[in-house]
């Protein structure tokens, strides 16, 4: 199916058909710049409009168009969509789990009203929308191991509640109005080039900076808290695959994706093995422990593999190797 999607796109481009014009909201967040780069490599620099409510660094501006766009301002967002002739929206603007518990009003506003604005504009202007969901959409009563796509979903965080709302509303707009809504439930995403922003899985990035800087780390989750994780390149590759998959390949609109899973103590063991045998760790769980305790440990993702070719390649040891290699020069 992946080969089919690529061939269809190649045909589209070779027959002179225009590549899609894509708007990325929240493009200055953890995933945004890598996703924008991948989209520009595929569809051309000028066809991918990056947007956010912050000022981009000169390097983030250099590779193509950037616009100020607040997802809470529907008219302004609509103007960008009309002015740039947007076909697809990749909607990354969101307040993550820990940040949402710190500021529930902001979490509700951005995650619910921001998404509703995007979806309504997709209905009016016939857009494809890819908006990621998360393992945070599951809750304390969800089965924790090999969690299936369809299961109990009663999250108890603002982030989780707003993402279940997003999934259901996207499916509703798809069925009722034919909006081409697509979503995948991200695990914790690990990246070296862009910092995370207010998540419960952020420890798995912080730990590398601390290891290289101080050779010690105080972890805000308990030693044995196993969570699903993925390296950013696997995440962006999967997001591109789902974005480009032909409509008739999709048997559902929201997909679990699983790449690897580990606990803090397993990550520490790998950092000690690859970096420093005397790397010191202390566990001081805070409010994020209660969030992590409600999330799956591992996810079942056969439909994503079957329908659009989800095929992550990096496991825990690979992620540690890449993170250490990328961050080492920063702390030399
Ligand atoms: C978070 O920790 O909130 C995010 C997520 C798993 O969606 N990284």
pLDDT per position as a tens digit, 11-43: 555 556 789 999 999 999 999 999 999 999 999
CA of 256 to the centre of ligand 1 (A): 14
CA of 38 to the centre of ligand 1 (A): 22
Closest C-alpha to ligand 1, atom 6? 188
- Ligand 1 pocket (Cβ < 6 Å) reads 96-97, 134-136, 159, 186, 188, 199-201
Asked if 148 and 252 count as a contact pair (C-beta separation under 8 A), the reply is no
Which residues participate in catalysis according to the annotation? 159
Ligand 1 closest atom vs CA 96: 3
pLDDT per position as a tens digit, 261-315: 999 999 999 999 999 999 999 999 999 999 999 999 999 999 999 999 999 999 9
Closest C-alpha to ligand 1, atom 1? 199
pLDDT at 2 over 90: no
Average pLDDT, the chain: 95
pLDDT per position as a tens digit, 210-256: 999 999 999 999 999 999 999 999 999 999 999 999 999 999 999 99
User: Which of 294, 283, 163, 143 minimizes the C-alpha distance to 227?
Assistant: 294
**Exposure pattern of 173-211 as b/e (b: 16+ CB <10 Å)?**
bbeeeebbbbbbbbbbbbbbebebbbbbbbbbbebbbbb
């Amino acid at each position: 199916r992946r080969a089919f999607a690529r061939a269809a796109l190649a045909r589209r481009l070779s027959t002179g058909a225009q590549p899609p014009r894509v708007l990325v909201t929240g493009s200055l967040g953890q995933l945004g710049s890598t996703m924008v780069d991948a989209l520009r490599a595929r569809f051309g620099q000028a066809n991918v409009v990056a947007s956010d409510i912050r000022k981009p660094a000169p390097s983030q501006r250099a590779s193509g168009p950037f616009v100020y766009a607040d997802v809470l301002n529907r008219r302004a967002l609509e103007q960008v969509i009309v002015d740039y002739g947007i076909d697809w929206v990749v909607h990354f603007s969101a307040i993550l789990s820990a940040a949402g518990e710190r500021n529930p009003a902001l979490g509700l506003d951005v995650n619910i009203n921001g998404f509703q604005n995007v979806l309504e504009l997709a209905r009016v202007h016939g857009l494809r929308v890819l908006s990621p969901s998360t393992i945070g959409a599951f809750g304390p009563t969800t089965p924790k191991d090999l969690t299936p796509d369809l299961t109990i979903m009663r999250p108890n965080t603002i982030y989780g509640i707003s993402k279940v709302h997003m999934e259901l509303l996207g499916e509703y707009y798809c069925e009722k109005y034919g909006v081409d809504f697509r979503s995948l439930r991200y695990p914790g995403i690990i990246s070296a080039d862009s910092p995370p922003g207010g998540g419960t899985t952020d420890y798995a990035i912080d730990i590398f900076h601390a290891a290289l800087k101080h050779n010690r780390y105080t972890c805000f989750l308990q030693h044995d808290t196993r969570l699903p994780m993925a390296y950013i390149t696997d995440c962006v590759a999967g997001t591109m695959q789902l974005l480009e998959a032909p409509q008739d390949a999709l048997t559902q609109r929201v997909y679990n994706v699983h790449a690897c899973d580990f606990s803090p103590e397993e990550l520490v063991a790998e950092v000690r093995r690859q970096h420093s045998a005397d790397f010191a760790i202390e566990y001081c769980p805070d409010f994020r422990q209660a969030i992590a305790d409600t999330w799956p440990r591992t996810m079942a993702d056969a439909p994503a593999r079957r329908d659009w070719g989800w095929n992550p390649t990096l496991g825990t040891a690979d992620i540690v190797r890449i993170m250490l290699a990328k961050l080492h020069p920063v702390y030399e």
